[in-house]
Amino acid sequence: MTSVTLVNGSKWGERRYLAGAIVALVLIVLPTLNRELPVFGTGADWLAYPMHIMVLIMIWSLAYTSWSLMGRFGLVSLGHGAFMGIGAYGTALLWNYAGLTPWIGIPISLALVAAVAFIVGYPCFRFRIVGHYFALVTLALSEIVRQVIMATRDYTGGSLGFTPTPYGDGFSLYALQFSDRTVFYYVALASWAFGLWIWWRVDRSMDRFALEAISEDEDASAAAGIWVTREKLKITILSAVMTGFAGILYMQYQQFISPDTVSGIAISLQIVFAVVAGGIYVMFGPTVGAIITILLAESLRVAIGVSMVGLDTTIYGILLVLFIIFLPKGVLGGILDWLSRRKAG
């Protein structure tokens, strides 16, 4: 009886909001804690590493959430690594070679991302390239962008990676370079929250109904007045631009990018895996996916070191198969389903 009351109706809803508010407060207050507390004995900044991991989680959560905007409607893109790469490399190249501040470079790069999304998306949607074929076309995009980065290695550094030119003393609003991790922590936190807000807005829009309808039956959708090509393009461009922005954040934070970290098929697949693992149909699913994948990669790195290159990818692969078979709604989706079943009876 008690357990039923605990998770029942409005109480459960209230609890959810309360939990959300507490998490938000903790995330906001965290960096203001005393860094010199001898928590782990050394007296060094004990928060530096957890905050680094959290910034990474938030940036990748933004990318994953962006992908799920379209992925949840059956628009499975394997090209999102390309959008990250175009955003990151675009902004960094404009900074190094044209001296353009990221404040101008970011909008230019995002416009380029939108243009590429349009150029790839329009013919696909106009000529009904859906399902596996759409995934294949976008997969090619991932590889093309990686190849372009490699081919222009005189400018991009190819597989050796690329470093934006440092500016000033490491704290510059003009260059968006901050050696102090706290600033970036808040930037990442705000961006992640913004990504979730967009997800929520899409979820409550009429476009969501249109996209659900399109994912089931394009002819019937068109007969009901839905402009199928335009609806798909809208969500694809939104998703691509947000993913590009996540790439830019990653570049500005790490001050180093390489084709392996922000573009190419591996990143595209990592995005899909993380979202499937976390939960593709729920708002915080991609975030849970980011937590799982990044903690997994970090633990493997700490436990095994770099002696077994590719081990994390192998484990991802095995987990992906297991998730698709046993937990198709992902970790969070599965938990929420279980809770609502308990609530119902």
Partner 1 sequence: MSGAILTVEALTKRFGGFTAVDKVSFTVGEGEILGLIGPNGSGKSTIFNMIAGSLQPTAGSIVFQGRELAGLVPNRICALGVGRTFQIPRPFRKLTILENIAVAGYFGQGGHVSRKEAWATAERSLDMVGLDYEAGAEVGSLGAAGLKKLELARALATNPRLLLADESLGGLDQSEMDQAAAMLERIRRETGITIIWVEHIMGVLMRVVDRVMVLDHGEKISEGLPSEVAHDKRVIEVYLGSDAEAVQANV
The HSE-up count of residue 84 (CA atoms within 13 Å, CB side) is: 37
Residues 50-69 that bind partner 1 (CB under 8 A): none
Across the chain, how many H-helices and E-strands are there?
16, 2
210 binds partner 1 (CB under 8 A): yes
Shortest distance, CB of residue 74 to partner 1, whole angstroms? Answer: 10
DSSP three-state, residue 79: coil
Number of residues that bind partner 1 (CB under 8 A): 18
Options 144-152, 186-194, 221-229, 265-273: segment touching partner 1 (CB under 8 A): 221-229
Sign (positive or negative) of CA dihedral 81, 235, 221, 128: negative
Judged by beta carbon, residue 207 or residue 312, the one nearer partner 1 is 207
Residue type, 202: V
Select the span of 9-17, 28-36, 157-165, 210-218 touching partner 1 (CB under 8 A): 210-218
Nearer to partner 1, 214 or 331 (CB): 214
Q: How far is the CB of 146 from partner 1 (least distance, A)?
A: 35
- C-alpha 185: how far from chain center: 16
Residue 212 as a binder of partner 1 (CB under 8 A): the answer is yes
Distance, in Å, from the CA atom of 138 to the CA atom of 276, rounded to the nearest integer, reads 18
Q: Does residue 101 contact residue 174 with C-beta atoms inside 8 Å? A: yes
Among 219, 305, 309, 345, interactor with partner 1 by CB under 8 A: 219
Contact assessment for residue 67 and residue 239, using Cβ atoms and an 8 Å cutoff: yes
Nearer to partner 1, 217 or 260 (CB): 217
* Separation of alpha carbons 114 and 236, rounded Å: 9
Nearest alpha-carbon partner for 287 in 181, 167, 196, 158: 196
CA distance 61 to 217: 30
Q: In the 8-state DSSP scheme, what is residue 99? A: -
Residue number with CB closer to partner 1 (222 or 300): 222
* Interface with partner 1 (CB under 8 A), residue from 94, 110, 228, 262: 228
Range in contact with partner 1 (rule: CB under 8 A) among 165-173, 207-215, 259-267, 320-328: 207-215
Max Cα distance, the chain (Å): 69
Examine residue 100 and tell whether it contacts partner 1 (CB under 8 A).
Answer: no
CA distance 154 to 96: 13
Q: Nearest approach, Cβ of 65 to partner 1 (angstroms)?
A: 21
Query: Binding of partner 1 at residue 130 (CB under 8 A)?
Result: no
Q: Kindly indicate which of the ranges 34-42, 107-115, 131-139, 209-217 contains the residues binding partner 1, using the contact rule CB under 8 A.
A: 209-217
Residue 120: CB minimum distance to partner 1, A: 21
The phi and psi torsions of 333 (rounded to 5 degrees) equal -60, -40
The piece of 112-120, 194-202, 211-219, 248-256 that touches partner 1 (CB under 8 A) is 211-219
Distance CA 229, CA 252 (A): 34
220 binds partner 1 (CB under 8 A): yes
Binding site residues, partner 1, CB under 8 A:
206, 209-210, 212-213, 215-217, 219-228
